[in-house]
Amino acid sequence: MKKWFSAVACASTLLFSSVSLAETSAFNAEQLKQSISQKLGLNVSSARKSEMPGLAEVVTNQGLFYTSYDGKYFIQGKLFSLGAEVSNLTEESLAKVRVDGMVKYEKDMIVFPAKDEKHVVTIFTDITCGYCRKLHNQMDEYNDLGITVRYLAYPRAGVFQGPGQFTQGFEDLRSIWCNEDPNTAMTKAKAGSTVARRICDKPIEDNFNFGRQVGVSGTPAIILANGYMVPGYREPNDLKQLLESL
């Protein structure tokens, strides 16, 4: 028992010593972004001090990560604050990134508006997803409850299936977004109809990359107006209750 306490005390001393040293390291956002980019090949859009002393938060094209101020240590995971209430600091940061992204791609969304709009949700969708189809089949119910639904594209099979060769999922979603009537094209596709081929300049790949960046791993992925994400399908009344509870 004495040996165990001794080992714990030693480990604790090393941990606090590491944090203390990290706190004394100078934080330089631009240097850190450059260091992570060079070492890992990631495109770092932002770097800032996290709420944990000595730990920096970096937002990249592959998601949100944490590093030491000098960029010598790299952590993938979630950061929680254990105050009076437990807070998911990682989700709070990702929510801000999602809000900014929704503004960026707002003009390219396929929107099914509610006549008496009370809430707006943005959904990453794919036409091959069973629950995406179920959700879309209930679109009138969502709209009647005052919920406007906006779609972003997320081809579940990815963008490329080989060098320079798009996946069928990407091509189908691009065709829907490029259709002269994308809302009708979306409805027909989710009902099982063949997608009429269209090619134009729409940010389908950008939508997919944005989804990966903010933690989307499957569809449907529902993003609320405050940026928080609800993974999976939600029945219309269930979603309404969730939105009204915020």
Q: Annotated active-site positions, please?
A: 126, 129, 132, 156
Using the structure block, give the residue that is written with the tokens 């209430």: 85
Which residue(s) pair with 117 in the sheet? none
Strands 86-88 and 110-112, sheet pairing? unpaired
- Token code pair at residue 155: 């081809």
Task: Determine phi and psi for 190, rounding to 5 degrees.
Answer: -75, -10
Give the 3-state secondary structure of residue 79: coil
Q: Which residues, in sequence order, are CB contacts of 145 under 8 Å at separation 6+?
A: 114, 118, 236, 237, 239, 240
Determine the Cα–Cα distance for residues 130 and 133; give it in Å rounded to an integer. Answer: 5
Q: Where are the beta strands (DSSP E) in the chain?
A: 44-49, 55-60, 63-68, 74-75, 80-82, 86-88, 110-112, 119-125, 147-153, 160-162, 165-166, 221-223, 229-231
Its sign, for the CA torsion 235, 143, 170, 190, is: positive
Do residues 212 and 187 touch, judged by C-beta distance below 8 A?
A: no
Using the structure block, give the residue that is written with the tokens 């709009």: 117
